[in-house]
Structure 1
Amino acid sequence: MTVLDRRAARVVLVDGSGRALLLRGTDPARPSLRWWFTPGGGLSPGESPAEGAARELFEETGLRVPPADLGRPVWQQVTEFSYDGRDYRQDQEFFYLQVPSWEVSTAGMDAEEQRTIDGHRWWSAAELDATDETFYPLELASLLRRLISC
């Protein structure tokens, strides 16, 4: 089986109450599965991680920020997953951005995002610790605690 390697960038978007925004999605090949994840996605050719993170943040939440406002990545991870019948190995960088509040707009989502993202919610670290729902990255609660304590 062929594994597709790709680079991605994600944003840990945190509101004034210290909660991270997560999107809820599904896999077209396994529509009964649902999970929560941070805004972000694969990089376009020639795109820097900060540029990709800013683009994805706007597409998925409506929040437009200059890539420079994201600063440097706060965390990096290599993850492997299956999506729509393909296997991926994804090297992803996470950026941190805090806003007082934000009303999510999904108007900028592309067709694939509209097909697979069906909700959003702001989560505290304690709620992530207590939930039985699946979310990624698995280390998000501890990462969130570290980021908001800085």
Structure 2
Amino acid sequence: MSEERAGRRRVARVVLLDPADRVLLMHGFDPAEPSRTWWFTPGGGVEGEEGLEAAALREVAEETGITRLRLGPRLWRRDCSFRFDGRRWEQDETYFLGRTQTLDVDISGHTDLERRSVNGLRWWTCEELLRTRETVYPIRLAGLLRTLLDEGPPLSPIPLGTERD
């Protein structure tokens, strides 16, 4: 499968902001361990010969129903490794800035796995993220978002390092 590269999955994620600079996050859990929950940005694996930008737009549409968005620059890169749904996932993630005027979400495009592992979406302010004690990925999202809102997008993607679970 071309989305796999040396056992790693290429993933495009979107830091999707509304007109009030709130970020849209998905609330997920592991079907094998439903009490373990976290929040994360929309996005997912690159399919076939698809580019990262195309994957980002497709994933946002499938996961949120939002098709009217302006995809901005690449913000961050993250390598991650975690256990989920009975297997270990190894991912190279690229985060894009996205802007939308649309606040309504539609989850009817979720895959079977998403229907079994996502139980909601929510628009968060930066201040709410800074205060929350809930798990949010990437783990420094609140501070990264604050910097993004204060300083604008970086000139080139910032490496966030590796997160392992």
TM-score normalised by the chain length of structure 2: 0.82
| Corresponding residue for residue 9 of structure 2 | 6
**Aligned-CA RMSD value:** 1.7
Residue 47 of structure 2 corresponds to residue 44 of structure 1: yes
Alpha-carbon distance between aligned partners in 2 of 1:5 and 1:79, rounded to the nearest angstrom: 10
Alpha-carbon distance between aligned partners in 2 of 1:148 and 1:16, rounded to the nearest angstrom: 12
| Corresponding residue for residue 18 of structure 1 | 21
Alpha-carbon distance between aligned partners in 1 of 2:18 and 2:36, rounded to the nearest angstrom: 27
CA contact (8 A) 2:71 2:99 kept: no
Structure 2: unaligned runs, 5 residues or longer: 1-5, 153-165
Listed one character per residue, the Cα deviations across residues 31-62 of structure 1 (whole Å, up to 9, x for unaligned) are: 21111000001111211111111110000111
Task: Name the structure with the higher helix share.
Answer: 1
Alpha-carbon distance between aligned partners in 1 of 2:143 and 2:97, rounded to the nearest angstrom: 14
Task: Name the structure with the higher strand share.
Answer: 2
CA contact (8 A) 2:72 2:99 kept: no
Alignment of 1:63-142 (within 5 A): 63-65=66-68, 69-142=70-143
| Corresponding residue for residue 61 of structure 1 | 64
CA contact (8 A) 2:26 2:41 kept: yes
